[in-house]
Amino acid sequence: MQVFSDEAVNVPDSTDWLGTPLACLMPVEQAFRCHVCKDFYDSPMLTSCNHTFCSLCIRRCLSVDSKCPLCRATDQESKLRGNWALREAVEAFTKSRRAILDFARAPPPALQSPTEQSNSPTKRKATEMDGAKEEDQETKRPRRSTRSTKTRAAELTAAILQEEEDTTPSADPDYVDQPPDDGLVACPICLTRMKEQQVDRHIDTSCPGSPQAAASKRQAAVAQTPQPPSTFPSFNNRLGQSTQPQKPPERLPALAYSMLKDTALRKKLSELGLSTHGSRQLLEKRHKEWITLWNANCDSSRPKKRSELLRDLDEWERTVGNPGGGSRIGGIGMTIGGGAGQGPMARAQAAGAEIKDKEFDGKAWANRYGDSFGDLIKQARKGIKRQTLDGGANSGESAKEKKKETEAETEKEDTPADLLPRTRPDGDGESSVAPPTPMDIVPPSSPPRLDEQGGDTGMDDEQQVIPGTPEKGNSKWETSQQQKQQPPIAGDA
Amino acid sequence: MPVQFAAKRLGKELSKIQNGLPPGIELVSADNLEEWFLDIKVLDNNPLYLNETYRLKFRFSQSYPIEPPEVVFVKQADRPIPIHPHIYSNGIICLDLLGQQGWSPVQSVESVCMSLQSMLTGNTKNERPPGDEEFVRGNKQRPKDIEFYYHDNTV
């Protein structure tokens, strides 16, 4: 328990209402929470199937399997629409939540129910101060009904103000009153932001002497607001943002990675100002994550700064971006299916999911990819002999022939059937063995890129275990001789 | 934010769990945000599972809840592996809900436990999956790396 930070555990939750006289607010609060992250909706987006999720959540989900997490209807990121009414509702609710909760937890003695005692001590403590205050007032005015709505309203407003002061990060993560973290410092006099070493010189020479000047300058940059510049530039900033949104950043289109050569992809990344370092797979993932972050940010009512997004991407890269794929794909696999194979990884991952699907049409798949399989197998053969990459794709032969060949070879040696999805529901003999995904057969012999694959998988057995389908397909080149692993087929088929 | 994604979500689930779980489900330990243990019981009078408690181990990746958690039964002196045609005797569970295909981020630890409860409740067969012995002997893979083929729609 003590491992967790406080924010991770003492999270506001809809169950907070339980045990208060306002337990009926629990479903209300639940309705304001995203089903994926369980937090209050952050930039809620409506799917084609009329479900709503946080922008970031649904974009993540769709980029993994293009299905609505709630009803599994297929959907696309481009079809998402902002649910602005809900956004406002959530904002209003989260702002008043604390006040209502405090109010509910410290009811007048007459209303105090025995269940109230069952409140968890930590939460109780958090509100004790307010509670005591409240109860104090109650003793002075014992009859609740006589309290004028005016006083109550005043109390509520006070509570709201207080709430605004100590907004919890989860309720309002983007409410930035602090200076932006851009590596700059503010001039102590005019509050203009600049590099630290410039400050002295600036004060001596160009400082206008009052924050107003700077503030109005800033406002001019943002677009005019009717408000006269106040002494709090950050406050102005906030107003400027909410009432006069800057030109909204444009959403980035998804890329068809399969159509892009490595150099083109690197160019795209550098155009976006992102790192071009890493394997092809990593490049694609990085680009994808950036698009997700960026587009989700576009949906936000208070978009973050680019530098903040970059920091998010950085964090992602350190953890999720490079999940210990390394050592698992490493080993012998690298000598055969190495570098050149990394490219279509993401595509193959999606394809792998497709293959496993119950409605998978093996025949169509074979028809569609027969050509490439044939080519790839040939390439691989050549490559194994020569240990050099033979880039030329032979395209002379008929698709049919190649398809046959593919299947035959698939059966024969390279791909033990047990590594492929076995029985398909249609029970058709021909399609009982699905052809491999393009990933399965990889032109060999590029130098291994162990460096990019590095990372601990948390696996302690030496056995080579490959995540997901496609890599498994990849691994069959070397694992088939080592051992045959029957994928379990459970049940009574 | 990405880093927080899994942690935040698990924190929320945990606080909810500590506020109470459905009958027959108990949190045993959640010392970190990677591995949790829960006990489940089958509440009706199914003779196969009467008066038994089973321990579940959840492992979460950084991509939870986009990716499913890894869920297995673990064996201990007083915690057997429930007998079921989709549960291997090493505790590995073949349930599409726990695979990439069947998983949805709206599921949670609680909902997984409830699904497993109902999967056990509905079972009448006193048997292991076909090929259990062989699989248990040979398997060194992690559950998420195993390719299950889900065919039984009755569960």
**Nearest CB partner across the interface for A465, out of B31, B100, B145:** B145
> What is the per-residue pLDDT across A371-408, written as a single tens digit (0 to 9) for each?
788 888 888 888 777 765 444 444 444 444 444 444 44
Per-residue confidence (pLDDT) for residue A450, from 0 to 100: 42
Asked if A8's CB is within 8 angstroms of B94's CB, the reply is no
Instruction: Map tokens 């999956």 to a residue.
Output: B129
Inter-chain residue contact A3 with B32, CB threshold 8 Å: yes
Is residue A170 within 8 angstroms of chain B, CB to CB? yes
Are the beta carbons of B31 and A15 separated by less than 8 Å?
no
Mean pLDDT, residues B69-91 = 93
Inform me whether the C-beta atom of residue A359 falls under 8 Å from chain B C-beta atoms: no
Q: Work out the minimum CA distance from A176 to partner chain B, whole angstroms.
A: 15
Greater confidence, A433 or A316?
A316
CA B121 to chain A, closest CA, distance in angstroms equals 17
Give, as one character, the DSSP assignment of residue A74. B
Of A227, A195, A190, whose CA–CA distance to A212 is shortest? A190
pLDDT mean over A99-121: 64
Q: Check residue B144 and give its pLDDT.
A: 72
Question: What is the pLDDT averaged over residues A171-192?
Answer: 60
Nearest to A486 among B65, B106, B134 (CB): B134
Contact call for B85 and A356, based on CB within 8 A: no
Tell me how far apart the alpha carbons of residues A192 and A233 are, in angstroms, rounded to a whole number: 10
Which of A352, A355, A356 shows the shortest CA–CA distance to A364? A355
* B12·A39 Cβ contact <8 A: yes
Q: How far is A467 from chain B (nearest CA, A)?
A: 5
Q: Which of A347, A310, A300 is nearest to A57 (CA)?
A: A300
**Higher per-residue confidence, A125 vs A269:** A269
Distance CA A197, CA B25 (A): 60
* Res A137: pLDDT: 44
**A65–chain B Cβ distance below 8 A for any pair:** yes
pLDDT beyond 70 at A483: no
Give the alpha-carbon dihedral of B18, B23, B27, B33, to 10 degrees.
-70
Instruction: Name A367's Cβ contacts closer than 8 Å, sequence gap at least 6.
Output: A399, A403
Of the candidates B46, B41, B47, B112, which has an alpha carbon nearest to the alpha carbon of residue B78? Answer: B41
- Cβ-Cβ contacts under 8 Å, B106 against chain A: 35-36, 69-70
Q: What pLDDT, on the 0 to 100 scale, is given for residue B81?
A: 94
A120 interface with B at CB cutoff 8 Å: yes
Q: Which residues of B12-25 are buried (b: 16+ CB within 10 A; e: fewer)?
A: bbbbbbeeebeebb
At residue B139 the predicted structure's pLDDT band, cuts being 50, 70 and 90, is: confident
Q: How confident is the model at residue A40 (pLDDT cuts 50, 70, 90)?
A: very high
| Residue A177 to chain B, least CA–CA distance (Å) | 19
Give the pLDDT score at A388: 53
Query: How much of chain A is helix, strand and coil, in % rounded to 5?
Result: 55, 5, 40
Residue A384: closest CA among A434, A327, A441? A441
Name the minimum distance, in Å, from the CA of A427 to any CA of chain B: 12
Q: How confident is the model at residue A354 (pLDDT cuts 50, 70, 90)?
A: low
Q: Alpha-carbon distance A401 to A371, whole Å?
A: 9
- DSSP per residue, chain B: -HHHHHHHHHHHHHHHHHT---TTEEEEE--SSSEEEEEEE--S--TTTTT-EEEEEEE--TTTTTSPPEEEEE-BTTBPPPPBTTB-TTSBB--GGGSTTT--TT--HHHHHHHHHHHHHT-----PPTTHHHHHHH--S-GGGS------TT-
Residue scoring higher pLDDT (A179 or A329): A179
pLDDT on residue B35: 93
Cα of B25 to nearest chain A Cα, Å: 18
Does B140 score more than 70 pLDDT?
yes
- Are residues A490 and B94, on separate chains, in Cβ contact within 8 Å? yes
Q: Is A432 on the interface with B (CB under 8 A)?
A: no
pLDDT confidence bin for A452, thresholds 50/70/90: very low
Crossing angle of helices A149-165/A121-140, nearest 10°? 150
The answer to whether A307 touches A414, Cβ cutoff 8 Å, is: no
**How far is Cα A425 from Cα A431, in angstroms, rounded to an integer?**
10
Mean pLDDT on A283-310: 90
Q: Find the mean pLDDT for residues B61-81.
A: 92
Backbone angles phi, psi at A398, to 5 degrees: -70, 150
Question: pLDDT-based confidence at A224, cuts 50/70/90?
Answer: very low
Q: What is the pLDDT of residue A360?
A: 66
The pLDDT, as a whole number, for residue B137 is: 86
How many CB pairs (< 8 A) connect A and B?
169
Per-residue pLDDT band for A130 (boundaries 50, 70, 90) equals: very low
Asked whether A490 and B148 are in contact (CB, 8 A), the reply is yes
Mean pLDDT confidence for A218-227: 46
Which segment of A211-215, A342-346, B33-37 scores lowest on mean pLDDT? A342-346
CA distances from B115 to A68, B72, B95 (A): 20, 13, 10
Q: What was the pLDDT predicted at A318?
A: 81
Contact A36 B65 (CB under 8 A): yes
Mean pLDDT to the nearest integer, A205-224? 55
Q: For residue A22, what pLDDT band results from cuts at 50, 70 and 90? A: confident
Q: Assess whether pLDDT exceeds 60 at residue A170.
A: no
Active-site residues of B, by number, are 94
Across the interface, do A318 and B105 touch by the CB < 8 Å criterion?
A: no
| pLDDT tops 60 at residue A215 | no
**CB-based burial label for A163 (10 Å; 0-12, 13-18, 19+):** buried
Give me the residues of A, 1-60, that contact B with CB < 8 A.
1, 3-4, 7-11, 13, 15, 18, 35-39, 56-57, 60
pLDDT band at B150 (very low <50, low <70, confident <90, very high): confident
Inter-chain residue contact B145 with A468, CB threshold 8 Å: yes
B62 and A13 within 8 Å at the Cβ level: the answer is no
User: Chain A partners of B100 at a C-beta cutoff of 8 Å?
Assistant: 65, 353, 356, 468
Mean pLDDT of B108-121: 94
Q: Concatenated DSSP letters for A94-142?
A: HHHHHHHHHHHHS--GGG--GGGGGS-HHHHHHHHHHHHHHHHHHHHS-
> Under an 8 A CB cutoff, do B145 and A467 touch?
yes
pLDDT over 80 at A448, yes or no: no
Looking at chain A from residue 400 to 429, which residues have their Cβ under 8 Å from any Cβ of chain B? Answer: 421-423, 425
So what's the pLDDT on residue A315? Answer: 85
Tokens of A172: 């309002």
Chain A nearest-CA residue for B6:
A37
The one-letter code for the residue type at B150 is Y
Chain B contact present for A299, CB below 8 A: no
Residue B116 has pLDDT above 50, yes or no: yes
Check residue A126 and give its pLDDT: 44
Task: Provide the mean pLDDT of chain A.
Answer: 63
The pLDDT score that the predictor gives to residue B37 is: 96
Pairwise pLDDT comparison (A458 vs A212), residue with the higher score: A212
| pLDDT for residue A278 | 87
pLDDT attached to residue A185: 76
Does the pTM surpass 0.90? The reply is: no
Band (A103; pLDDT cuts 50, 70, 90): confident
Choose the most confident range, by mean pLDDT, from A145-154, A174-183, A302-311: A302-311
Share the mean pLDDT of chain B.
88
Q: Decide if A287 touches B, using CB distance below 8 A.
A: no
Closest CB from A4, A472, A488 relative to B129: A488
